[in-house]
Amino acid sequence: MQQELLVVENLSLHFGGVAALTNIDLTVRKGEILAIIGPNGAGKTSFLNCISGLYRPSGGRIFFEGRDITRLSPHRRAALGIARTFQNIELFKHMTVLDNIMLGRHVHLRSGILAGGIYWGLAQKEEVRHRRRVEEIIDFLEIEFIRNRVVGSLSYGLQKRVELARALALEPKLLLLDEPMAGMNVEEKEDMARFILDIAEEWGVTLVLIEHDMGVVMDLSDRVAVFDFGRKIAEGLPEEIKQNPRVVEAYLGGQLAEEA
Amino acid sequence: MRLRFPWTTNCGLFFTRYEEDQAFLPSRAAKIKVLCLFALLLALPWLVGPYPLRIASQVAIMALGAVGLNLLTGFAGQISVGHAAFMGVGAYAVGALTTKLGLSFWLALPLGGLAAALVGAFFGLPSLRLKGLYLAIATLAAQVILDFAFVRLEPITGGAAGLVLTPPSLGPLSLADDTVFYYVTLALTMAGVIFALNLSRSRVGRAFMAIRDRDLAAAMLGVDLFGYKLRAFFLSSFYAGLAGGMLAAYTRVVTPEQFTLDVSIQFLAMIVIGGLGDVLGSVYGAAFVSLLPIALSYLAQALQGVLPQMVNLLSACQTALFGLVIILFLIFEPQGLAKLWRHIKDYFRLWPFSY
Ligand SMILES: Nc1ncnc2c1ncn2[C@@H]1O[C@H](COP(=O)(O)OP(=O)(O)O)[C@@H](O)[C@H]1O
Ligand SMILES: [Mg+2]
């Protein structure tokens, strides 16, 4: 039996009168890739924001490894092993690729003001040790050639990859990816799909990803959850979701009809 | 290269390279340049007379304060219009501890830094909720409140008359001696500069910059926003407090008008002109802003025969002039003097052929 990593119970989120999320129940199992699909404005990003702590839910509870994290601040959730990327890239634009990824190591580094200011000794040892891990991630995502570039000067596709590298550097147990392939060309999408599979299979990271491209979703995910108007309208294996009449009606109708 | 298992490949291979990569003076030319500058600073007492040496000490003190403000504003992105007031806390603490409690200056100096740091962190509390202009106004309030306290807390601060210090000594040497004072200040400021440079290439410095660039993304990576903002206020004010303590030893009198809003604006001018987030730039900026009034007064004297009103006019315009310089730098050269200097060098390198 697979273990539960993340359990979301009865989650609701309101913005004034707008209900972005209504009574969502969702469980993410250790080691799986769960895709969340749904039309624009369905509440997918809001859902990730609640898990990572960016939004305070109006109701419901979130458990991570059995621990209630509903009221936990974002930086504490990161320390527990929850990392994410953003739909609209949120990199530190004025910093180099290396520094961005080193920031992903923040929770694993220890040196404070004093050790950092004195540097020689503790902080330097730590920097070198963690830099080595960062280089491994850089190799894995094949971004060696841009490691010293300032992030703001990179193409959109590369920035997406750097953001993934930064999230990976946290060595998360749970990785939330908000439309990791949006705006990419076919080749970039294929690379990204390969990285995502490797992250899950070789690194044992559990993934929740929001994606619009149904082909990608069917190929990558172990299970699929469908959101519509802030509600979860279906959940199941990719094959089941394809057949589900409610899903077809709400969302897939157009796309599947086109494919057929 | 593909990874077979996440974190266990090729250890030890690049050890030396990474250290070199992370050095803050990566190139040999940069190292030589810094060594030359260092030699020049060491030799300064033999090269110039007592007055320029005193000015150099003053520049070093202001540079220490400016480096502190740059950590807060340039690195962590938290604006402060109260830096001079935090400097004042350090100066008054050192003054009161030495004159009223008879503490040694060398003990009072770090305590003054600590006092300023705590006061700075306290006035940094609003940064939890406020950003940009609103935070500027909150720190302006800190400036006003502390200005008021300097005048009114007479038993501690001596009120409007201030405190008069006896010159501290270092073993057999007296800091009343300009050369001794210069070396002590130089050592302290250089320590402050190196500390800041080191910090900027390690965990805390990166967290500061992350908060400046994208605070929410920083939080998602585990950076405790509030904790680090407070650390930035604490550290920055600690620098200000040390600078204030040195200033107290330099002028040997601590009065409220040394730490007014004007001076806070001058600190901002220093880091904007020197370059936000540029540690060495803060030093250039401090030199520029401290030397400009002196240059202007020479100019005014030279012109006195021709234009007698010039002296008053120039000194009246100084603060306005700094305001203007800040605005011009923000518009045209946001990376400050260091960048401007690079532009000029590039220009002359290509000189006869530059278009
Ligand atoms: N910060 C916010 N303030 C107000 N409304 C928001 C905010 N974030 C999301 N919403 C609303 O919540 C709903 C869901 O949005 P979102 O989660 O971004 O959907 P999706 O990612 O599925 O496209 C939308 O109606 C959106 O307008
Ligand atoms: Mg979205």
Q: Are A55 and A74 in contact (CB under 8 A)?
A: no
Interatomic CA distance for residues B319 and B267, integer angstroms: 12
**Which residue is closest in CA terms to ligand 1's atom 12?**
A20
Residue B282 lies in domain: 48-350
Interatomic CA distance for residues B60 and A51, integer angstroms: 49
Structural tokens at position B192? 């402050």
Does residue A19 belong to any structural domain of this protein? yes
Does residue A148 belong to any structural domain of this protein? yes
Q: What is the CATH number of the domain that holds A210?
A: 3.40.50.300
Share of chain A above pLDDT 90, in %: 84
Q: What is the CATH number of the domain that holds B59?
A: 1.10.3470
Structural tokens at position A58? 């109006």
Task: Using the predicted structure, report yes or no on whether residue B314 has a pLDDT greater than 80.
Answer: no
Q: Which residues surround ligand 2, an ion (CB under 5 A)?
A: A 45, 87
* Mean pLDDT of the region A172-185: 94
Between B6 and A170, where is the model more confident? Answer: A170
Cβ-Cβ contacts under 8 Å, B213 against chain A: 92-95
Q: Which of A52, A90, A202 sits opposite B3 (nearest CB)?
A: A202
Boundary-marking domain end, from A142, A170, A198: A170
Q: Give rounded-to-5 percent helix, strand, coil for chain B.
A: 75, 0, 20
Residue A105 lies in domain: 93-170
Task: Using the predicted structure, report yes or no on whether residue B270 has a pLDDT greater than 50.
Answer: yes
pLDDT tens by residue, A49-79: 999 999 999 999 999 999 999 999 999 999 9
Does residue B281 belong to any structural domain of this protein? yes
Does residue A152 belong to any structural domain of this protein? yes
Find out whether the beta carbon of A20 lies less than 6 Å from any atom of ligand 1: yes
pLDDT tens by residue, B170-181: 888 888 899 999
Domain count, chain B: 1
Interatomic CA distance for residues B263 and B240, integer angstroms: 12
* Mean pLDDT of the region A224-237: 94
Interatomic CA distance for residues A20 and A221, integer angstroms: 24
Instruction: Give me chain B's average pLDDT, please.
Output: 87
A14: CA distance to ligand 2 center in Å? Answer: 16
Does residue B22 belong to any structural domain of this protein? no
Does residue B332 belong to any structural domain of this protein? yes
Question: Nearest-5° angle of CA B112, CA B73, CA B91?
Answer: 20
Task: Using the predicted structure, report yes or no on whether residue B287 has a pLDDT greater than 50.
Answer: yes
Share of chain A above pLDDT 70, in %: 95
Does residue A87 belong to any structural domain of this protein? no
Q: Which of A90, A127, A171 sits opposite B202 (nearest CB)?
A: A127
**Which residue is closest in CA terms to ligand 1's atom 13?**
A20
* Mean pLDDT of the region B222-226: 96
- A133 and A254 together in one domain: no
pLDDT of residue B351: 55
Interatomic CA distance for residues B339 and A20, integer angstroms: 47
pLDDT of residue B348: 65
pLDDT band at B295 (very low <50, low <70, confident <90, very high): confident
pLDDT of residue B10: 39
Helix axes B279-303, B310-332, angle to 10 degrees: 150
Instruction: Kindly report whether the global pTM for this prediction surpasses the value 0.80.
Output: yes
User: Looking at the predicted complex, does its ipTM rise above 0.90?
Assistant: yes
Domain count, chain A: 2
Burial class, B197, CB count within 10 angstroms (exposed 0-12 / middle 13-18 / buried 19+): middle
Find out whether the beta carbon of A15 lies less than 6 Å from any atom of ligand 1: yes
- A187 and A197 together in one domain: yes
